[in-house]
Structure 1
């Protein structure tokens, strides 16, 4: 069990890069929330250097999406998202956090998912498909970590169903932990509940290792990130499903049939792209689908504009009357002339669907996860 002193040390270490900030302001020039709110990373870092106690009282603490755009341009290798999540940890200790964030953390602690839905319903999405979601056994090709959103969110359940069909068609020997799967802990860490994150990291690592999982596949880029970079005791290789799909296409285990001509644009999720450098694999899959034309948005790859759902902000209420990051991105997608906006992240999918409704663009642009599009075009 992780000790309190160890948690305090981790939180303190994630504040260290703050000392190297010399206020050049490049972070504020790329931050998505700088365009939509009063949040400026440069000013925030200065305030953190001068008076952290006063900063802890500010709601600006919850504006960061941890998209890593700032880290990519910082000449000093300062890491504002780590500084901010560490300060959130101190705020969490007071209990004075946004209601939605508090509820999500409580749900993760008590029910192992931010939605607070029953553990026994975690694999219910796979019922009635005529396809078996097997329980993982030692020796299988992959342990599939389905994730909380694909397990419980109705929109993302369609992604899980699509992936299950694709995996069956490819002949993958794959299994999940079904109702024994726990939250990966991404939202817990980003919201500042470091102790809960460390508890989940220990429990999940032990569970995967004891199960003999040598290769772990994730649906969400957020799960992929914590497993591959923030779970030091995890033994298995970790891949995101887009990497696996690209390999299945390359080796001929799946192929595509002729279909209607369709213009699509692809959104790079922050936690797939900037956090992990996975840009080519989703595009390589799209490039092999007959009849599909990929048009890029002006801001793509490293310059992709965040959907607004990272950093635990899925559970923080947006300021009313203010344009949301997802709405900005949907407008960009629409300007390309594409009929479908493709992405590969549960949070992006939710935010873009909500943006289309709020902008009253139903019928003008459809949002699909890459897995859904692949399933539709399978030969």
Structure 2
């Protein structure tokens, strides 16, 4: 299909709402409106493909939501990146991430046999070798390997066990979900990952999948065609377990908490209330709202492959703006439900000198504290 036809460039009104709403365009050479017009008039020219701003896009999809014609400018950017990947004209760090995923099943190139080290001595059923389960818990690459994040799946497994949830994991068979791989522009590798993961999902015997990361959740829900599977983000499952009375809190968390909406959970999948319901149910928490929240939430800049390529823009990072906003509203904790958001926001506290005043936590960590895991 012709590139112009595929992305419906002739339907673009050139209204500029995509660029006006972009969380990156104010500080980086990324002007989606202008780029769409350029490709419409000139085709996929070298000049268009050499725009440095192509790698600044986080694929947060704010532009998709703002477009009055229902176009998807973020997908247009992914299409241009695919042309660059095909030609081998990509940053070295992106090449490394793609090679690591191809060889080892994760963008960091860590050994597959170490993918289950996050669980330590925690006894978790491996599917299907160690039996059957109703739920398959998909850990994700970052929580599997990053020391800062490894405690999140450990705590979530303990929460599931305490709630009596019948679940298991894939262990070392788990591979990258491919959400960022596709948005980098490597459609072929994404299709391989989708095929491999889908085969493992179906052979696991589980009927439902719960994901740590909104990025994995998005891929499974919208891009895997998992007919017959229920796919949820962990905050959705925790909300249901709380409503059923299966999660009990024994400790108060007397903190002012501001919740940061991850783009791939909120903007792209409409999951706004479950994370807030979980936080509201925790004794002692005073839940605060950012001025820019829900559909207007400020992107942390961690998506779309940006974890493996530095942006070209100058000025304050969005993570720094976010933590300063949290400080100004009196928050003590910024809670999120995304591994990438946690890492970028935590970096923001360090570069702004606010790491002693503002703490970044995943909702799972706060739930574990309220249950009493930190007090055992």
* Pair in the same fold by TM > 0.5: yes
SS at 1:216's partner residue?
strand
Q: How far apart are residue 236 of structure 1 and its match?
A: 1.4
Q: How far apart are residue 332 of structure 1 and its match?
A: 1.8
Which of 106, 113, 117 is the equivalent residue of 2:106?
Answer: 113
* Range moving further from structure 2, 178-187 or 232-241: 232-241
CA contact (8 A) 2:56 2:311 kept: no
Q: How many aligned positions are there?
A: 368
1:152 equivalent in structure 2: 145
Which of 5, 11, 16 is the equivalent residue of 1:25?
Answer: 16
* Range moving further from structure 2, 52-61 or 279-288: 52-61
1:88 maps to 2:81: yes
Residue correspondence of structure 1 range 198-213 to structure 2 within 5 A: 198-213=191-206
CA contact (8 A) 1:15 1:86 kept: no
Which of 96, 99, 103 is the equivalent residue of 2:96?
Answer: 103
Distance in 2, Cα, partners of 1:321 & 1:19:
32
Q: Render the CA deviation track for 1:18-45: whole Å, top value 9, x for unaligned.
A: 2321100111221100222221221222
Distance in 2, Cα, partners of 1:160 & 1:239:
15
* Range moving further from structure 2, 191-200 or 18-27: 18-27
Q: Render the CA deviation track for 1:151-186: whole Å, top value 9, x for unaligned.
A: 011111121122111111111111000011011111
Q: How far apart are residue 317 of structure 1 and its match?
A: 1.5
Distance in 2, Cα, partners of 1:233 & 1:170:
26
Distance in 2, Cα, partners of 1:233 & 1:256:
34
Distance in 2, Cα, partners of 1:343 & 1:57:
35
Q: How far apart are residue 340 of structure 1 and its match?
A: 0.1
SS at 2:8's partner residue?
helix
Distance in 2, Cα, partners of 1:14 & 1:226:
25
CA contact (8 A) 1:206 1:234 kept: no
Q: How far apart are residue 234 of structure 1 and its match?
A: 5.0
Q: How far apart are residue 358 of structure 1 and its match?
A: 1.1
CA contact (8 A) 1:349 1:367 kept: yes
Q: How far apart are residue 289 of structure 1 and its match?
A: 0.9
1:274 maps to 2:267: yes
SS at 1:257's partner residue?
coil
Q: How far apart are residue 291 of structure 1 and its match?
A: 0.7
* Range moving further from structure 2, 186-195 or 253-262: 253-262
1:221 maps to 2:214: yes
Moved over 6 A (4+): none
CA contact (8 A) 1:205 1:234 kept: no
CA contact (8 A) 1:14 1:86 kept: no
Normalising by structure 2, report the TM-score: 0.94
Q: Render the CA deviation track for 1:127-166: whole Å, top value 9, x for unaligned.
A: 13xx312112464120011010110111111211221111
Q: How far apart are residue 303 of structure 1 and its match?
A: 0.4
Which of 36, 45, 55 is the equivalent residue of 1:45?
Answer: 36
2:278 equivalent in structure 1: 285
SS at 1:314's partner residue?
coil
Query: 5+ residue gaps in structure 2?
Result: none
1:123 maps to 2:152: no
1:327 maps to 2:320: yes
Normalising by structure 1, report the TM-score: 0.93
Distance in 2, Cα, partners of 1:229 & 1:331:
34
* Range moving further from structure 2, 77-86 or 56-65: 56-65
CA contact (8 A) 1:307 1:326 kept: yes
CA contact (8 A) 1:170 1:248 kept: yes
